Amino acid sequence: MKLELRNVRLPLAPFTLEVEVVMAARVTGILGASGAGKTSLLEIIAGLRRPVAGQVVLNGTVLSDAGQNLFLPPEKRGIGYVPQEGALFPHLTVRENLLYGHGRHGPAASDRPTYLRVVEVLEIFGLASRAVATLSGGERQRVALGRALLAAPRLLLLDEPLAGLDAPLRERLLPYLARVRDEFGFPMLHVTHSPDEVMALCEDVIVLTRGHVVQRGKPAELLVPSAKPHHVLRESGAIEPE
């Protein structure tokens, strides 16, 4: 996977998101405090926001080019997006949510993750007939992740998938993300404000502050354990430890 953000610019309040970066790792962490522009950056990649300048290029395919007035809509990008709240369809069962979009884009059927394999890895087989309203927060996030996987994306965007969950539940769900990384091999961008998640999942990390990349490197190079025992950034006030 090679994702290029070439002089991408989007005005936000109270700053302008301005990013030029190339990402090619299997899992890239986008780390920053709340309000740093992390979600807006994912939405630009997914096609949910239109930048006023710059290009977004995935594996040689131009997804958007402000100078040429080119903007590929979200459904044409082949990108899976898991927002913070999962955004499941409340009128559909878990199984119907999981299969929504299955087969619409991506590789041939023989190369796709199967329904049975996805529900096995995420341990959600027993939820198939349930209504969305009956699910816990952790169950919702696993179903949302499964739905994105079954669409066979060229790139998977995870927007703080563990945010809003208490610490014990986050610790129980983190291994599921690692299993997805290792089992299915889809390249991922993992947005978080948690250095611990970056250390556990990511090969590369970008630190975003007020819409700008302020640090870039391997997690072990940028993060150091603290006594809490959370991790903090080396020589930087870009984020606050949890």
DSSP 70-94: EE--GGGTTEEEE-TT----TTSBH
pLDDT < 70 regions, the chain: 86, 101, 103-111, 225-242
> Where in the sequence is the domain holding 186, given as residue range(s)?
3-84+153-233
Evaluate whether residue 102 is within a structural domain.
Answer: no
Residue 174, amino acid: L
Evaluate whether residue 171 is within a structural domain.
Answer: yes
In this prediction, residue 112 carries a pLDDT of: 76
Evaluate whether residue 122 is within a structural domain.
Answer: no
Burial grade of 129 (CB within 10 A; 0-12, 13-18, 19 or more):
exposed
In this prediction, residue 242 carries a pLDDT of: 44
Evaluate whether residue 108 is within a structural domain.
Answer: no
Evaluate whether residue 46 is within a structural domain.
Answer: yes
In this prediction, residue 232 carries a pLDDT of: 60
In this prediction, residue 228 carries a pLDDT of: 54
Q: How many domains does the chain have?
A: 1
29-83 pLDDT, tens digit per residue, is: 999 988 999 999 999 999 999 999 999 999 999 999 999 999 999 999 999 999 8
CATH number, residue 168: 3.40.50.300
pTM comes to 0.88
Evaluate whether residue 93 is within a structural domain.
Answer: no
